[in-house]
Amino acid sequence: MSTVQLRGMRKSFPSRSGEVEVLKGIDVTVEDGEFLAILGPSGCGKSTLLRLISGLELATGGSVSIDGTDVTGTAPEKRQLAMVFQNYALFPHLNVQENILFGLKSRGADKQLRSERLTEAAGLLGLDELLERKPSELSGGQRQRVALGRALVSGQRLVLMDEPLSNLDAKLRAEMRVELKRIQRRIGLTIIYVTHDQVEAMTMADRVLMMSEGRVEQLAAPEEIYSTPATTTVGRFIGSPPMNIVDIPADSDLAYLLPGEFRDTGATLGVRPESVELHSAGQPVPGHRVYLAEATVLVNELLGADRIISTTLADDAAPTTGRRITARLEPGRKIAVEEPVSLSASPADLHWYSRNDGTRMNLAALQAA
C-alpha cells in the first residue's frame, strides 16, 4: 500500500520583495500503484511540490499524508519513500554496487538482504556487468539505471522522480520510458514523476497533473487531458504542435463562429491542428464541416508522417489579423507557400473557453452536434 494525499499544499519562499508564493494550494490523491505525472513548464512549482512530498522541503500550508498517516512535518527518512534525482546524485567515489547499496548499508541492513536486493535490482535493470564500475565510467543511460536501482533496493513502494530522463538523448529516453513503465507495473510501484516533457507524461502516466504558476490546471488521464483540455494553458502546452487558440471578442469579424450563448460576451476558440482542414480559397466547405476563416499559408513543414502547415488569418480580418493557425495534414498534400486558403473544422472539434480566465465551457448544443 502506498497512497499519497495532498491537501491545500502551499509553499512560499522569502525573497527581497517579500514572499514569493510558488504553490498556491494543491489538492491531489495518488492511488496505490498509480503512475502520476506532474507536468508543467519550468518554474511552475512542480519540483517544489515533489520536494514537499519527499520532506526535503517543508510546506508553508496544507498537509501531506502517506498511507493515511499525516507526515507534513516528518523528516524525509521516516516517510517510507525513495527518490530519483535529475542529475542522478550518484556518489562519485563509490562503484555501482556501493552506490546501489549505500542506503541499505547505512541503515544497517544485514548482508543477506543486501545481496538479495542487489541481485534482484541488477538483474531487473541489466546492471550485472557494471557493478564494479565508478559512475564516471558509465554512460548517461547506465547512470540513470543505477539511480533507479538505488530507489528499487530501498524496498519502498513509493518512488518520487524529478525529471529523471531529462539528461538523456532522445533515443535513450524513449527506451527508458518503456523500461520504467515495465518495472513500475512489474513491482507495482506508486510513482510520482515530475517532468516538463509532455511525451513522458502522456506515455507513462495513468493520470497527469498539469500545473501552471503554482496551480493545478487539470488532473486527468492522458487521453482526457488531450481530448478535452480544461484550460487554454493545458491546450497550449499539450500536443505538438499545440492547440490553436484564437480569442474572439463579441464584436470581432470572426463573431459569426460564436455559439448562441456567447454572442454577447465573446469566447476563446481552441482547435487542434489535426482538426483543421485546408480548402482552396473561395470554394464552398463541405456541409458537415464548419467554415472558420480565410488564411494565407506561411510555412510548410514535412515531418515524415505529418505535414504541418502554418497559416496566418487573412488581411481583411481586422482584429484577428496575423493570428496563426496551424494544421496537421497528411504528408502527400501539395500546398504552396503564400497560397490563399480557407480553413474548416468539424463542429465537434471546436473547444470553447472563457475569455476571462481561460476555463473550458461545455455546450449542450455543441456536444449534441
Smallest separation, CB 366 to another protein (Å):
32
Q: Could you give the CA distance from residue 358 to residue 247 in angstroms, rounded to a whole number?
A: 10
Instruction: Decide whether 81 or 254 has the Cβ nearer to another protein.
Output: 81
Comparing CB distances to another protein, the nearer of 78 and 171 is 78
Q: Kindly identify the residues of this chain, within the stretch 49-108, that bind another protein according to CB under 8 A.
A: 54-56, 75-78, 81-83, 85, 87, 89, 91-93, 102-103, 106-107
Hey, which residues does 329 pair with through a beta bridge? 307
| Long-range contacts, stretch 272-275, CB < 8 angstroms, 24+ apart | 272/239, 272/243, 272/244, 272/328, 272/349, 273/239, 273/241, 273/243, 273/244, 273/308, 273/326, 273/327, 273/328, 274/327, 274/328, 275/345, 275/346, 275/349, 275/350
Q: Does 336 bind another protein (CB under 8 A)?
A: yes
**Beta partners for 300?**
309
Distance in Å, CB of 294 to another protein, minimum: 16
Give how far the C-alpha of residue 30 lies from the chain's centroid of Cα atoms, to the nearest Å.
16
- 292 contacts another protein (rule: CB under 8 A): no
Q: Which of residues 102 and 291 has its CB atom nearest to another protein in the complex?
A: 102
Cell of 293: 476563416
Residue 95 CB, shortest distance to another protein, in Å, is: 11
Could you say whether residue 137 binds another protein (CB under 8 A)?
no
10 Å CB burial of residue 158 (0-12, 13-18, 19+) is buried
CB of 100 to another protein, least distance (A): 11
Kindly write out the interface string for residues 151-190 of this chain, putting x where it contacts another protein by CB under 8 A and - elsewhere.
---x------------------------------------
Question: Is residue 150 close enough to count as binding another protein by CB under 8 A?
Answer: yes
Runs of H (alpha helix) within the chain: 46-54, 96-106, 111-125, 140-153, 170-187, 198-204, 222-227, 232-237, 364-368
Least separation in angstroms between residue 28's CB and another protein is: 21
- Stated length of the chain: 369
Return left, alpha or beta for 244; rule: phi > 0 is left, psi -120 to 50 is alpha, else beta: beta
Sign of CA dihedral 260, 265, 270, 271: positive
Which one, 121 or 210, has the nearer CB to another protein? 121
Task: State the Cα–Cα distance between residues 23 and 46, nearest whole angstrom.
Answer: 9
Nearer to another protein, 84 or 248 (CB): 84
Contact pattern from residue 214 through residue 253 relative to another protein, giving x for each residue in contact according to CB under 8 A and a dash for the rest:
----------------------------------------
Peptide bond into 273 cis (omega under 30): no
Residue 339 interacting with another protein (CB under 8 A): yes
Q: Output the CA–CA distances (angstroms, integers) from residue 132 to 114, 139, 152, in the order listed.
A: 16, 14, 19
What's the min distance (Å) between Cβ of 332 and another protein? 11
314: left (phi over 0), alpha (psi -120 to 50) or beta: beta
Between 263 and 333, CB nearer to another protein: 333
| Number of residues lying near another protein (CB under 8 A) | 31
38 vs 246 by CB, closer to another protein:
38
Q: DSSP string covering 332-357, please? A: T----TT-EEEEEE-GGG-EEE-TTT
C-beta of 116 vs 223, nearer to another protein: 116
Closer to another protein at the Cβ: 156 or 268? 156
Give whichever of 224 and 277 is closer to another protein, judged by the CB atom.
277
| Residue corresponding to grid cell 502520476 | 36
- Contacts to another protein by CB under 8 A: 54-56, 75-78, 81-83, 85, 87, 89, 91-93, 102-103, 106-107, 134, 136, 150, 154, 300, 333-337, 339
